Each structure stands twice: as structure tokens, then as C-alpha cells.
Amino acid sequence: MKRQVYNPFLPIYEYIPDGEPHVFGDRVYLYGSHDKEGGETFCMRDYVVYSAPVDDLTNWRCEGTIYRADQDPAYVTDRKYMYAPDVVRGNDGKYYLYYCMSGRDGKGGYFGPISVAVCDTPAGKYRYLGYVRYPDGSPMLDFVCFDPGVLNDNGVIRIYYGTQFPYEEEPGFAENEARILEEMEMFHKSREEILHTPGGVMGPCMAVVGDDMLTVQAPPKHIIPCRTQGTSFAEHPFFEASSMRKVGDKYYFIYSSWKNHELCYATSDRPDEGFTFGGTIVSNGDVGYQGRAEQDRLNMTGTTHGSIECIDGKWYVFYHRLTHKSDYSRQACAEPITLLPDGSIPQVEITSCGLNGGPLAAVGCYPAVIACNITNGHMPHGSNHRFTEKFPHVTHCGEDRFVGEIQDGTMLGYKYFAFSGETTWGVELRGNGSGTIRAYTEPGGKIIGSLPVTPAENWTNCTGVLHAPAGTHPLYLVYTGTGEIAIKTLYLGETLEGGETLKGKKECVNND
């Protein structure tokens, strides 16, 4: 069987959220934050980079640590966490890493400058260069310096950044001024700045830096108004995660909206104004896809951040999913997208096959955690905390990664597999549950397989016959019963005519 790749497309023990993909030469590089597996806050690890040949997105390799948090001077002030970065190739041929430092749980992440590091190669050892500054050497702190994205626009280096909380859009701002100003203290802005900055201190902004990659050439400016009522952004206002791409002569601004689970885009013929909302590209709960409502989300939803990139002539969106019942352990995923002739990007669904170029083979064994849908029918939306209540989620214990807290009614969805017909199948599970796992090709449809579940303290294989129709289909597993189980592995066998059973088989397909 040819090598395959699935979501998450990096090794299942790796957590690289906030992905910015860039093609440099004949490889695509993924820059992002670095979460800890089962982490206690955002971005606890140093920056590492993964890359792949542009003509083989199944073959990702780790380039190692490119930059450490303790290389930034702010580290000694307890702002020890490096948030979402971006990298751009400068006009001198060197590579420049832009990022912001933060404290635990985001504290201190909204008032520092944008830091810069430099390297001779895309994935070498970067060294601290300085911070984005005014010509007099003082740090550029206009608006809120957060989540920088960078574009080399035919020799002009543009930095896009910012965040937007709804304070300035609240009805009755004047009546609630004292409370709102107190809540905005985390931005370290004076009352005068907050009340009298033209357009507000929030919102997405742009600054141009010179050849030194540090010094701004003119005052930064908003690219989209903060106050979105009555504009095309009213239903999907900017929140964070600025990223810019230029496609032909058109600028695509990619961002995370207030909904906080979707990557949206806006387009303009100019780099610093005139943007019009385009739509949602992807939601990590498939909210909005084919009209899906937020209460029907197919995963726990939460922060998202990413961008689009053309790789070997095809377009993809890179985003992240949540694990461990928190926003603190996020994994990189990607999907192919289409840029239509009119410039629009239809929303895509989240899948398990992602960068594979087609469905996964319905043979072999797969980590259960590649499920693109994990739901009990009432999944929560997370924001900067860890849940304690029970619901199904990706987690780990030691070297085992699995979907845990599976209770009655939990559904795991895998999209898509290429079935050749009836086959063997199974799962590796443990737990105190007693009941049945049923398989479907559509939720609530015809049952195509059934496995009995009995309590098992250790990982145990359960196998059976899967009456799968030939062709490309999703596979949904639904547990019905008492107690709670965890599933570590999904087995799919040869056709029954081939006679092979996968009971006990351990040669798993993997992304390592």
C-alpha cells in the first residue's frame, strides 16, 4: 500500500497549532505555535518546523527546534510563551520570524511589541534580531500587537496584526465606560488612547517595515473598520489570527472570527483597505457547512488559526483541532480547497483524509484519533480553559493516544475510506462499558457492522464483519450501552475472499 497521510497530518504526538504554511523552493514549511500534549496553557513549547516536498504531502519531516522562547528578552519578565508566528523571505534572501510573547493563559500577550528573529535558511537556527519599532527606536505599539502575519508584496514587507474584543461595539458604551475601561486594562492602553484612537484600538491593522525588517515606514492603519455593524463583516467580525495571501492582483485576508471556531476570508484589490467579507473557509466543528448550526457542532470547538497556500498548483487550507478537552493542546490539520473563477472559496468540511489526495484505503489499522467528528450530540465550545465534565475527546496516557470518555450515544466519524466491499473490521478498546459499537456509512442509516463490547481493563481487540458498500464512503461508529470506553485503534481488513483477519494485527498506518 502506498504511503498515506491523514488528519492530523503530523505525528499524533505532535501539537503545532496556528499554522502558517509557506512554499520556499521545492518544500512547504509549516510554521506555528507549539503546544504541549495535555498542556496547562497555550504555546508551552519552543518553535519547531515541519516540512514536506511540494510534490509529496504524505512525507512530512521534523526540521527540529528553530527558535527558543528564552532567546527573547521578554522571557525574563515572565512572558515566557511564544504565540502564533509567521515567517517571510526578506529582500536580502534571509528568512524573518515575526511573533509576540505572552504570559500564562494569555496574560501579558496584548501589550508587548512584535518581535523578530532571522535565519539564513527557512528552517535553520533563528537568532533574535529585535522588535518592530519606530524610526526613533521606540517599540511600535499602535493598536494591539498580536498574532502577526507577514507578506512580502513585491518587495514591500507588510505586517498584519491585531485583535478585536467587542467592547467598542457594545450598546451603551458611554453608560458603561468605567466597566469597559477596567476590562480593557489588559491592553495597557490609556483612557485617552481607548476613547480617542481614530477607528478604535481594536481591529486588524497593517504596518510596512523597511529593509532592516524592523523599522516602520509610516503609522500603522486599520485594514477593516472595528465597528462592523452595517458592513459585510457584521455576522463574522474579525477576532484574531491575521494572515495575508496575494493571489494574482487580489489580496486574501484570512482570519479567525468572533465565532472562534472558523477561518474566514476577505478580499480586496488593495493591501490596506477596501476589504469585503468573502465567507468561511473551514470550521473545526463543521459549523456552517451545509447549514450546520452551532448547537449541532461535530466536535468540541474552540480557537482556530491558519491560512491558505498553493502547493504544487493546488490550494489548501491549514487549521487546527482541539484535544484534551481544552484549547491548550491543538493539532495541525489541512484540507484541499477551491478558488473559484470569481475569487470565492466555498467552505470545506473537515475530514480524516485531508492531504491524502483522496480517500484512505479501507485496509490496515489506523489510530482512532484520526476521527474528524467526535460528538455526543451536545459538544461544548471551549475558550482558554480545561473542561472537567465528561465528553468524548482525544487524549493520551503515556505513549497511548486514544479517544476517551466514550459513553452511550457517542459517535466517531471518519471521512473518507475507499471500500471494495464486504470486509473485516475491528477496534482496540478498553473500559468498563458494556454494549455495542455499530458502524454506518451515514448517521442513523443502515447498520453495516456491529461489535459487542464487554468490560476490559487492558487494551482488547474486537473484530467482526463489515458489510461495506463498494466505493468511497464515510465510516461512523456509534457506541450504545452503559459505562465508558476508550478506543485506541480502528482496524479495516482485506475482503473476506482474501481470508485475512486483522485480529491482533499491529502494523498501523502512521504519519511518523
Catalytic positions are 18, 240
- Which candidate, 239, 264, 268, 240, places its Cα nearest to that of 254? 264
Judge residue 494's burial from the number of C-beta atoms within 10 Å of its C-beta, 0-12 exposed, 13-18 middle, 19 or more buried.
middle
Other C-beta atoms closer than 10 Å to the C-beta of 158 total: 20
Q: How would DSSP label each residue in 228-268? A: -TTSTTTTS-EEEEEEEEEETTEEEEEEEETTSSEEEEEEE
d(CA 430, CA 454): 9
- Which candidate, 142, 80, 83, 85, places its Cα nearest to that of 113? 142
Q: What one-letter code names the amino acid at 111? A: F
d(CA 372, CA 415): 7
Is the preceding omega at residue 359 within 30 degrees of 0, hence cis?
no
d(CA 433, CA 399): 23
d(CA 325, CA 391): 8
